[in-house]
Amino acid sequence: MAVAVIEKRTEDGKVIRIVPGPILLLGAPGVGKGTQAKEIMAAWAIPQISTGDILRANVAGGAELGKKAKILMDRGELVPDELVNEMVAARLLQPDTANGYILDGFPRTLGQAEWLDGHLAAQRGSLPVIAVSIQVGYTQLLRRITGRRSCPVCKSIYNIYLQPPKVDELCDLDGTPLTRRSDDTEEVFEERMRTYESLTAPVVEHYRALGRFDEVDGEQPVDAVAAAVMAAVLRLRG
């Protein structure tokens, strides 16, 4: 993956070069953090780092860590901070993160946020994080989560209510039967929302108070949300 530097034209016609640096996508389960991270990844060639995806890969691989994590994930609870912090630290050593990356689903507790702030401050030359919070109402979140399906092969994401595949439960691109995440049920969603409100909402306030923070309306079409998120990043870095 090419390492990104974004060129932005200012109002007086000058071109300035912006390094994206660490970007946090914040928001409740189902606001579209993963979808938006993929949009930014495609536009700016910086990687998406999703702690949920890394954990699910560990679960699928049958690793001991994955077995313990799955029990918590299936209940809608968080896995311990030390575990996700270590996973993120290891991922940030990869050279593709040099000019920027999108953290999706991390940090999810104040402990993780404080760890991340300290970790980046200790790395010479790292830009400070900027945070963009995506807002979506409860009813819409519930439909997005309980309707969410994905293709286990090409990773395309569908929603049986909002963006159904052409043939029921089959991927449009490769015909593979779609799968549903084991934590995408209404019951687990409610627990994930409780966890979000008590542990993750304070993280949003932490970054709001630091000032390198913006909010976007996540109920617009995907490309409009992506445009708003990218505009917010350029504004915060510009």
Q: Which residues bind ligand AMP (CB under 6 A)?
A: 29, 51-52, 55, 72-73, 76-79, 84, 105-106, 108, 112, 183, 192
Q: How far is the CB of 15 from ligand AMP (least distance, A)?
A: 36
Q: Measured from the CB atom, is 83 or 231 closer to ligand AMP? A: 83
**Within 13 A of 169's CA, how many CA atoms are on the CB side?**
3
Of 108, 144, 149, 237, the catalytic one is 108
> What is the 8-class DSSP label of residue 164?
-
Give the largest Cα separation in the chain, rounded.
Answer: 57
Give me 116's structure tokens. Answer: 């991340």
Q: How far is the CB of 24 from ligand AMP (least distance, A)?
A: 11
Q: Measured from the CB atom, is 3 or 185 closer to ligand AMP? A: 185
Q: How far is the CB of 93 from ligand AMP (least distance, A)?
A: 18
Q: Is 144 a catalytic residue?
A: no
Residues forming beta bridges with residue 102, ordered by sequence position: 23, 48
Of 38, 148, 149, 237, the catalytic one is 148
Of 33, 91, 144, 237, the catalytic one is 33
Q: Is 181 a catalytic residue?
A: yes
Q: Measured from the CB atom, is 39 or 183 closer to ligand AMP? A: 183
For residues 157 and 178, what is the distance between their CA atoms, to the nearest angstrom?
Answer: 9
Buried b (16+ CB within 10 A) or exposed e, 192-218: bbebbeebbeebbebbeeeebbbbbeb
Q: Measured from the CB atom, is 77 or 96 closer to ligand AMP? A: 77
Cβ-closest position to ligand AMP: 52
Q: Is 212 a catalytic residue?
A: no
2 C-beta neighbours (distance < 10 Å), count = 9
